[in-house]
Amino acid sequence: MRNLKTDRNYITFLLLNIITCGIYAIFLNSAIGEDLNIIAARDGKKTMHYCLVYFVLAPLTLGIWGLVWFHQISERMGDELRRRGIDYNFNASTFWLWNVLGSFIFVGPIVYTVKYIKAINLLAEDYNLNG
């Protein structure tokens, strides 16, 4: 069992995303999907690799598959948080309310990304301690 990364934060994400012109976001989402596949292996599901979604499926579906991917990963993270007894409110509705509807108030995607990163950090910490 390898230790998963638990120190991801929004400021680092933002700075690296700006410096790399968006490439870091692709890297981060790919890493989060892979980590979630390790953490939530017991649920029998598998999160599709983000590069496949970003480079192939989202362009073919005019971006819809990107929304589906974030819906599914957010829901799976929320299910795993509940299964592990971690008291943190995060699920697919967090994605739709903050990232999609919240984009109308401009700060919504920021709030979603902060919550998304915190959720995976909590899951990774629990996995590193309890498997």
Residue-wise pLDDT for 70-115, tens only, equals 999 999 999 999 999 999 999 999 999 999 999 999 999 999 999 9
Question: How far apart are the C-alpha atoms of 30 and 42, rounded to whole Å?
Answer: 20
In this prediction, what percent of the chain has a pLDDT beyond 70?
100
Question: How far apart are the C-alpha atoms of 109 and 18, rounded to whole Å?
Answer: 15
- The answer as to whether 21 is a domain residue is yes
pLDDT(1) > 80: no
Supply the pTM of this predicted model.
0.95
- The answer as to whether 40 is a domain residue is yes
- The answer as to whether 106 is a domain residue is yes
> What is the domain extent for residue 65?
10-130
Crossing angle of helices 64-83/23-39, nearest 10°? 40
Residue 39 is predicted with a pLDDT of: 97
The per-residue b/e assignment along 60-70, b for 16 or more CB within 10 angstroms, e otherwise, is: eeeeebbeebb
- What's the pLDDT band for 131 if we cut at 50, 70, 90? confident
- The answer as to whether 2 is a domain residue is no
- The answer as to whether 5 is a domain residue is no
- The answer as to whether 46 is a domain residue is yes
Mean pLDDT of 45-73: 97
Give how many domains the chain has, as a whole number: 1
- The answer as to whether 14 is a domain residue is yes
